[in-house]
């Protein structure tokens, strides 16, 4: 009355395989990997890898995550104030695109590293007026990419109001796949899913790949497990 429905992606038996998702996936027999083409957020779901041998069946579950890389962030001055010979500025760092983005502040200058060291998008920066320049950098990152933008303050004045964005070169430019394996027993699964670098591409965490299966084993890969009312 309440069956489980699974969509079979691939079956492998006696050295031969059947790909039920031609145009969406590509199987590489040489390294026993399954490549997902044209990655989209719809690929973010639970998959199963099943090996059947005689009366025994082994099942691994793998959660596939898809992230849009972070775009170039920008820094906005929310406000500033002069008090007791110091300049106090509130900065906000944001990225327009990207999934699960986190922000952090820092500096390569040892003299200002403590002033600039913060977690989060907001930075409350306070420094003496005699400092001719304070350089801080904001990093916007997620599990598959990161981007950096620099902020340089030379004086405390109205001229600082507005956006400051000097993005450094990015690490990635496309949608990327990540594999989250819930147990240590599923090292084989890293060999099942391999990413691509297409307009919306994928990349999986590298783990040890399994050897080719024995001829007597049946290997089946399913998409997300769903219930049908």
Quick one: pLDDT at residue 155?
58
Distances (CA, A) of 18 to 14, 59, 117, 165, 193: 11, 19, 54, 50, 16
Percent of the chain residues past pLDDT 70, beyond the cut: 66
Quick one: pLDDT at residue 205?
39
Mean of pLDDT values over 202-224: 52
pLDDT tops 90 at residue 39: no
Quick one: pLDDT at residue 172?
38
In the structure, what pLDDT confidence band is assigned to residue 58 with cuts at 50, 70 and 90? very high
Spell out the domain ranges in the chain: 7-63, 73-150
Q: Spell out the CATH class of 73-150.
A: mainly beta
Mean of pLDDT values over 180-191: 36
Over the stretch 121-152, which tens digit does the pLDDT of each residue have? 999 988 887 766 788 999 999 999 999 999 88
Mean per-residue pLDDT of the chain: 75
Residue 209 and residue 165: Cα distance in Å, rounded? 42
Mean of pLDDT values over 31-35: 90
Quick one: pLDDT at residue 17?
92
Over the stretch 79-126, which tens digit does the pLDDT of each residue have? 888 888 888 889 999 999 999 999 999 988 777 778 889 999 999 988
In this structure, are residues 98 and 71 in contact, taking their beta carbons and an 8 Å threshold? yes
């Amino acid at each position: 009355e309440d069956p489980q429905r699974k969509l079979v992606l691939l079956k492998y038996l006696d050295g031969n395989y059947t790909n039920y998702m031609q145009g969406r996936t590509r199987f590489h027999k040489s390294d026993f990997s399954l490549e997902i083409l044209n990655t989209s957020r719809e690929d973010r779901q639970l998959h199963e890898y099943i090996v059947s041998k005689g009366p025994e069946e082994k099942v691994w579950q793998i959660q596939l995550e898809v992230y849009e890389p972070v775009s170039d962030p920008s820094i906005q001055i929310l406000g500033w104030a002069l008090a007791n010979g110091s300049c106090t500025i509130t900065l906000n760092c944001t990225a327009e695109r990207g999934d699960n983005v986190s922000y952090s502040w820092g500096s390569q200058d040892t003299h200002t590293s403590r002033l600039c060291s913060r977690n989060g998008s907001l930075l409350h920066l306070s420094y003496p007026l005699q400092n001719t320049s304070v350089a801080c950098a904001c990093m916007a990152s997620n599990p598959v990419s990161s981007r950096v933008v620099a902020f340089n303050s030379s004086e405390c004045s109205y001229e600082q109001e507005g956006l400051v964005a000097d993005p450094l070169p990015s690490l990635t430019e496309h949608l990327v796949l990540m594999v989250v394996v819930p147990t240590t027993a599923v090292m084989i699964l890293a060999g099942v899913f391999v990413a691509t670098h297409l307009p919306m591409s994928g990349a999986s965490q590298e783990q040890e790949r399994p050897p080719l299966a024995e001829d007597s084993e049946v290997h089946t890969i399913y998409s997300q497990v769903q219930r049908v009312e």
